[in-house]
A and B are shown apart, each in its own frame.
Chain A
Amino acid sequence: MTATPRTTLGKVRAHQTQNEGLIFEKSSPGKRAYKLPPLDVPDVDPAALLGGAYRPEPGQLPEVSEIEVIRHFTRLSTWNYAIDLGMYPLGSCTMKYNPRVNEFVSRIEGLAEAHPYRPESLAQGSLEIVELLQRCLIEITGMDAITLQPAAGAHGEFTGILLVRAYHQSRGNPRKKVLIPDSAHGTNPATAAICGYEVQNIKSNPEGGIDVAELERIVDEDTAALMLTNPSTIGVFESEIHRIADILHAKGALLYMDGANMNALVGKTRPGDFGVDVMHLNLHKTFSTPHGGGGPGSGPVACKAILEPFLPTPVLVRKPAPATTTPTTTTPGAPGPSHLGTGETTQLGWSFDRPQTVGRVRAFYGNYGMFIRALAYILANGPDGLRQTTEDAVLNANYIRAGLQDLYELPYKTASMHEVVFSDKRQAARGIKTGDIAKRLIDYGFHPYTVSFPMIVSGALMIEPTESESLEELDLFIAAMRSIAAEVESNPDLVKSAPHSTRVSRLDEVTAARKPILRWKPTA
């Protein structure tokens, strides 16, 4: 078998084009997918039992047969696009492969069936997974303490800024404002506002970093924190990060790091070592748990010791094992805040004894299934594997940059980390915008890149291949993007009217937003 030449457009993939209505539209009275045996117990009168809660008319659910249900959802699934089908270069989202070993481990019966209300003495294995993941993430980030409760990134930001607020409050003044660069994720200002802070924007410098002189000018005793994404949303590492941290700390302000782009740092540098006080991680980005499609996500928050007293409860601690419980677990070399030392019998358990806590932020202890997957990923890779992952992610982004920078405008020439941001400037001169190019990319069998973000780049194309992609897949992507750039010159209408291979093409976003139809209703 000969290798495919790198310029071949081998990636064009036909989409399913079957028409498939809503399952409600398939409904036909009396159809069903079950057959119940005759009633062999005394009939009851539900109205008498339930009173006002009794609903005389059954809910209007679709009536379909089993094969119709199966076909309906199977057909819908074929219209979907997933990382298992091809490259998903959605910048800032780190859509990496979700290793099957993660799924295998999370389905082990003792873990999958574990009940959250089991007594702690019977849940030691589950709790050890939490403890080990916490220790791994603390080591990776260089922080002192962590909570795994938050359900995703924005929830992590919210928790992190609550810690900042509680910290300042404990010193007598919650302070007034949070500083946010103009390249930030929109969730950053939203988080600050929800936590009761005023948002002050900082303009980026020509290299895409923080304007340190400007920062020095505006940081004062009213500044609670700076929320910084590092690398930034244009994929640039903040080379002045130490000075930034020093400027903040000199005024008693804290440095929050949005860990969305942690995939560029793992195993290479640690936020705790470059001055970050509190940060969140996205297990569904950096640590390969499912992202999108309901995830669920997971957004642990790691912090320095000064913020530890404020962490959400409960926190995982080692405590003396009850005398009645045997056998008990001792984990050598696993220090915790309440570790009793070798020779004592201890077990892991939850502590609510944190008088300064910001309180619980999530039911139970967060999205536990994701902890298992993230830990499986960390242990399967090991330290060297994680470092290699980071290097490959950065290499892949720079390979794409090198392969496209002669055809697409590169607004920031600073070295790229894990993602590269182009602008549509040259294509826009021909009337083709970043959104058009993204839709044409669908015809070539790829998920679009992130469109029109970050806002500091006009007409942004934000591309993050992750370490998952092989050289062959990267070449296919580059070939597709080069082919589209040629089409912009030779046949712009083809790009403007894309996609052409999907079941539906351009959706009417304006009418959908102005006059949304939020539920199906039977036609009279």
Chain B
Amino acid sequence: MAYPDTYRYTKEHEWIDLSGSIGTVGITDYAQSTLGDIVFVDLPKVGDPVTANETFGSVESVKAVSDLFSPVSGTVTEVNEALTNAPDLVNEDAHTAWMIKVSLSDPAQYESLWTAAQYQAFIAEEV
């Protein structure tokens, strides 16, 4: 699956799509394929603070429970409620099945994240 050039990526396999000061966050296709069938997504509440490189939730697959790491710091403005009843949306299309939207407190953090090319080079090494 293609890794959108307009997104930025983390080494913990999250993506973020920035629009103004709001970043939309999800996990990468590589992450979902490594996790396998996702059965539960545990997300924060609207208004919760998140911190760059710290956990904001978890994703449970038939294999394991994995932490979700926020690419940026800020406040949660929206949560994808659809994932509560249909966590498999993440397996179907990880790059559109977003998890949270964050109002960035430090936009400079976004600039330091990997581009699609850098992330793809990283996972090519992991495989």
Contacts and interface: CB of A to CB of B under 8 A. Distances in A.
B23 interface: no
A513 B64 CA distance: 12
B62 to A, nearest CB: 4
B61 to A, nearest CB: 8
A509 interface: yes
Contacts of A509: 37, 62
A509 B87 CA distance: 14
A510 B37 CA distance: 6
Interface in A424-465: 452, 455
B62 A513 contact: yes
Nearest to A452: B63
A513 B63 contact: no
B119 interface: no
Interface string A482-524: 0000000000000000000000000001100110000000000
Given A455-B64, A514-B88, 8 more contacts: A452-B63, A452-B64, A509-B62, A510-B39, A510-B88, A513-B37, A513-B40, A514-B87
A147 B9 CA distance: 49
A452 B36 CA distance: 12
B63 A514 contact: no
Contacts of B87: 514
A180 to B, nearest CB: 14
A510 B63 contact: no
Chain B CB within 10 Å, residue with most, of A455, A509, A510? A510
16 contacts: A452-B63, A452-B64, A455-B64, A509-B37, A509-B62, A510-B37, A510-B39, A510-B88, A513-B37, A513-B39, A513-B40, A513-B60, A513-B62, A514-B39, A514-B40, A514-B87
A449 to B, nearest CB: 16
Interface residues of B, number: 9
Interface in B13-47: 37, 39-40
Interface residues of A, number: 6
Nearest to A513: B39
Contacts of A452: 63-64
Contacts of A514: 39-40, 87-88
- Chain A contact residues: over half helix, strand or loop, or mixed? helix
B57 to A, nearest CB: 16
A13 to B, nearest CB: 28
B124 to A, nearest CB: 14
Contacts of A510: 37, 39, 62, 88
A513 B36 CA distance: 13
B92 to A, nearest CB: 13
A452 B87 CA distance: 23
A455 B88 CA distance: 23
Contacts of B40: 513-514
A439 to B, nearest CB: 14
A138 B60 CA distance: 40
Contacts of B64: 452, 455
Nearest to A510: B37
B50 to A, nearest CB: 17
A513 B62 CA distance: 7
B42 to A, nearest CB: 14
A513 B35 CA distance: 14
A513 B61 CA distance: 9
B80 to A, nearest CB: 17
A455 B66 CA distance: 11
A513 B60 CA distance: 10
A203 to B, nearest CB: 13
B105 to A, nearest CB: 22
Interface in B40-76: 40, 60, 62-64
A501 to B, nearest CB: 23
A105 to B, nearest CB: 40
Interface string B79-115: 0000000011000000000000000000000000000
Contacts of A455: 64
Nearest to A451: B63
A513 B87 CA distance: 11
A517 to B, nearest CB: 14
A249 to B, nearest CB: 30
Contacts of B39: 510, 513-514
B65 to A, nearest CB: 9
B54 to A, nearest CB: 11
Contacts of B63: 452
Contacts of B37: 509-510, 513
A510 B62 CA distance: 6
| List of 5 A-B pairs having minimum Cβ-Cβ separation, nearest first | A513-B39, A510-B37, A509-B62, A514-B39, A513-B62
Nearest to B91: A510
Nearest to A514: B39
A509 B88 CA distance: 13
Nearest to A455: B64
Contacts of A513: 37, 39-40, 60, 62
Interface string A302-328: 000000000000000000000000000
Nearest to B65: A186
Contacts of B88: 510, 514
Nearest to A453: B64
A513 B40 CA distance: 8
Contacts of B60: 513
B12 to A, nearest CB: 12
A455 to B, nearest CB: 8
Nearest to B36: A510
A154 to B, nearest CB: 16
A512 to B, nearest CB: 8
A455 B40 CA distance: 20
